[in-house]
Structure 1
């Protein structure tokens, strides 16, 4: 079973997002390449999951979070 993919990780730069192992960027065990795979939020911005079909089950209020991941009032 795959791990739940985080929408807004606190420090995405510390992890390789290339597979379900989520290895530390300096200790990749899967041989995913010489460099880590970036989290989509690093590439596309914090609202990356709102565009396209990523196949993720998103919480109803997940889009109402600030840059620090805190839930905003409706």
Structure 2
């Protein structure tokens, strides 16, 4: 990755997901899942990023499943 360790740590500490297509960047996060499976996604695109952070979808789904299991206990 082209990100320096300090930026990676700031993203991690803020629970932000990151994607890049080379010149452009995409930073995003999600709220906790609400009843009915509803959640909000907050995004920031820089440099003309046109995607939707698809590379991060498995990470988001795993995190939401982990939280749902924790709430069910």
Is this a same-fold pair by TM over 0.5? no
Say which structure is richer in helix: 2
TM-score by length of 1: 0.26
TM-score by length of 2: 0.26
Say which structure is richer in strand: 2
